[in-house]
């Protein structure tokens, strides 16, 4: 069992800007570079602490937003590659669906893998809807572009006998010859996120790590689609828990009252994350015609479920609702352990827990305490915890 520390590197000082929207069009005069520098240093310190404590590290990127200052994850990944000592370093994800230059992506990721001496976990995503305006990538056909970019990066990383050329539908390169090549062979492990059963199956067929967020007690169907896909290409064998990841917000403390207080602060991420001018939320072609038509007709897909099948709206939910739907793990270390293992039993096996242990206005001291408790009081028990057996999964 691995636990990854994650922060979006927020700039919460601008969250009450009267402009109203936090992503895409919030004028950047709302950011004070001196405060931003202090925040970056502080967040990086927390990551390095997590490394010392035995946790792993997850980074991501978003664009033109006060919710996440990591405008290019490569910068923070590079710092971690050099400064951390032992942790796995996960990028989740690198938005290759709207990145215009996969050759550059392959070079960056290979360098980070080498500098970290083989600690890179390589998560690819298509990119969130509201970043097709800032990137200017066409939202129509994004999955085609995602897979071509993926195929190119993998070929670049695994070709060692001289240059090749690439003349694809979306990308063109000559004399491709990656220097340095990655440390890990044949290439760093690939992860991706999904909320759809069909994509989950595709990830299973390829044996990549599937990461899910926001679905709570509705996650099992995605994992089972993954298992079907995996079995179809692995002679019927079922994937181990290390193929599955789940992201939850996280807050712990010695007593429940304090943990809940921290949980409220961390929940600020969910309460602000969707604060986007509506046209940027559903760019043309990003969702299928059928899904777009349903959205226009006012139907929003039900996403986050509690154990008793209540649907939770993550933007407005109470901390209790967030706990019930495993959008957040929150409480004393004992309570957190119970919430996590209950959820793992439900999923049929989960080897990578991604925790947003810092978000919003949660202070450095609170984050340090929360991470320390996770590492010292929860993680050792999770490492001893016995995952559900493969046979039990097959029977489910």
Residues that bind another protein (CB under 8 A): 133, 136-141, 278-280, 283-285, 289-290, 292-293, 296-298
| Shortest CB 83 distance to another protein, Å | 38
| Shortest CB 297 distance to another protein, Å | 5
| Shortest CB 280 distance to another protein, Å | 7
Non-local CB neighbours of 263 within 8 Å, separated by 6+ positions: 249, 251, 319, 322, 323, 328, 330
Between residues 293 and 396, which has the closer beta carbon with respect to another protein? 293
Non-local CB neighbours of 375 within 8 Å, separated by 6+ positions: 50, 53, 54, 55
Instruction: Dump strand ranges (E) for the chain.
Output: 2-7, 56-59, 89-95, 120-125, 164-167, 172-176, 190-193, 209-213, 244-252, 304-305, 311-312, 328-331, 352-358
Q: Is cis: bond before 186, omega within 30 of 0? A: yes
Q: What is the number of alpha carbons within 13 Å of residue 43 lying toward its C-beta?
A: 31
Between residues 59 and 137, which has the closer beta carbon with respect to another protein? 137
Between residues 78 and 282, which has the closer beta carbon with respect to another protein? 282
Between residues 100 and 335, which has the closer beta carbon with respect to another protein? 100
Number of other CB atoms surrounding residue 244 within 10 Å: 25
Between residues 138 and 341, which has the closer beta carbon with respect to another protein? 138
Between residues 126 and 243, which has the closer beta carbon with respect to another protein? 126
| Shortest CB 167 distance to another protein, Å | 15
| Shortest CB 130 distance to another protein, Å | 11
- Secondary structure (3-state) at 185: coil
Place of tokens 């890179």: 120
124-151 per-residue burial string, b: 16 or more CB within 10 A, e: under 16: bbbbbbbbbbbbebebeebeebbbbbbe
| Shortest CB 125 distance to another protein, Å | 20
Question: CB under 8 Å, gap of 24 or more: what pairs does 198-202 form?
Answer: 198/225, 200/225, 200/226, 200/229, 201/225, 201/226, 201/228, 201/229, 202/229
Between residues 140 and 396, which has the closer beta carbon with respect to another protein? 140
| Shortest CB 131 distance to another protein, Å | 13
| Shortest CB 276 distance to another protein, Å | 12
Length of the chain: 396
Q: Name the token pair of 14.
A: 């601008």
Cα–Cα dist 11/33, whole Å: 10
| Shortest CB 392 distance to another protein, Å | 41
* Nearest residue to 266 via CA among 322, 213, 226: 322
Cα–Cα dist 363/331, whole Å: 17
**170, 142 Cβ separation under 8 angstroms:** no
| Shortest CB 294 distance to another protein, Å | 8
Between residues 296 and 365, which has the closer beta carbon with respect to another protein? 296
Between residues 141 and 388, which has the closer beta carbon with respect to another protein? 141
Burial class (CB in 10 A: 0-12, 13-18, 19+), 95: buried
Between residues 279 and 380, which has the closer beta carbon with respect to another protein? 279
Place of tokens 């509690």: 306
């Amino acid at each position: 069992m691995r636990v990854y520390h994650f922060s979006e590197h927020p700039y919460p000082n601008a969250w009450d800007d009267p402009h109203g929207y936090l992503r895409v069009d919030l004028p950047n005069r709302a950011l004070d570079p001196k405060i931003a520098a202090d925040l970056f240093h502080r967040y990086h310190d927390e990551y390095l602490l997590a490394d010392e404590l035995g946790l792993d590290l997850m980074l991501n990127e978003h664009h033109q937003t006060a919710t996440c200052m990591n405008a290019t994850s490569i910068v923070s990944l590079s710092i971690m590659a050099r400064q951390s000592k032992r942790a796995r370093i996960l990028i989740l994800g690198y938005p290759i669906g709207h990145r215009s230059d996969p050759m550059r992506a392959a070079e960056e990721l290979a360098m980070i893998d080498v500098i970290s001496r083989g600690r890179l976990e390589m998560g690819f995503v298509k990119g969130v809807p509201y970043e097709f305006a800032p990137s200017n990538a066409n939202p129509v056909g994004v999955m085609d572009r995602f897979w071509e970019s993926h195929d190119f990066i993998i070929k670049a990383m695994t070709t060692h006998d001289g240059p090749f050329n690439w003349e694809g539908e979306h990308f063109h390169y000559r004399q491709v010859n990656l220097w340095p090549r990655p440390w890990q062979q044949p290439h760093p492990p690939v992860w991706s996120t999904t909320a759809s059963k069909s994509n989950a199956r595709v990830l299973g067929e390829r044996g990549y790590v599937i990461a899910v967020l926001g679905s709570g007690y509705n996650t099992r169907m995605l994992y089972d689609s993954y298992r079907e896909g995996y079995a179809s290409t692995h002679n019927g064998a079922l994937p181990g828990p290390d193929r599955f990841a789940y992201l939850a917000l996280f807050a712990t403390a010695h007593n429940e009252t304090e943990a809940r207080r921290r949980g409220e602060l961390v929940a600020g991420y969910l309460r602000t994350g969707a604060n986007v001018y509506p046209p940027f939320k559903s760019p043309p072609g990003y969702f299928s015609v059928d899904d777009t038509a349903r959205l226009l007709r006012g139907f929003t897909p039900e996403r986050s479920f509690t154990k008793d099948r209540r649907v939770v709206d993550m933007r407005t939910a109470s901390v209790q609702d967030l706990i019930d739907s495993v959008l957040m793990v929150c409480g004393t270390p004992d309570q957190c352990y119970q919430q996590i293992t209950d959820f793992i039993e439900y999923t049929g096996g989960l080897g990578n827990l991604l925790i947003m242990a810092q978000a919003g206005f949660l202070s450095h001291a609170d984050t340090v305490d929360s991470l320390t408790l996770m590492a010292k009081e929860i993680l050792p028990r999770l490492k001893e915890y016995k995952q559900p057996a493969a046979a039990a999964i097959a029977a489910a």
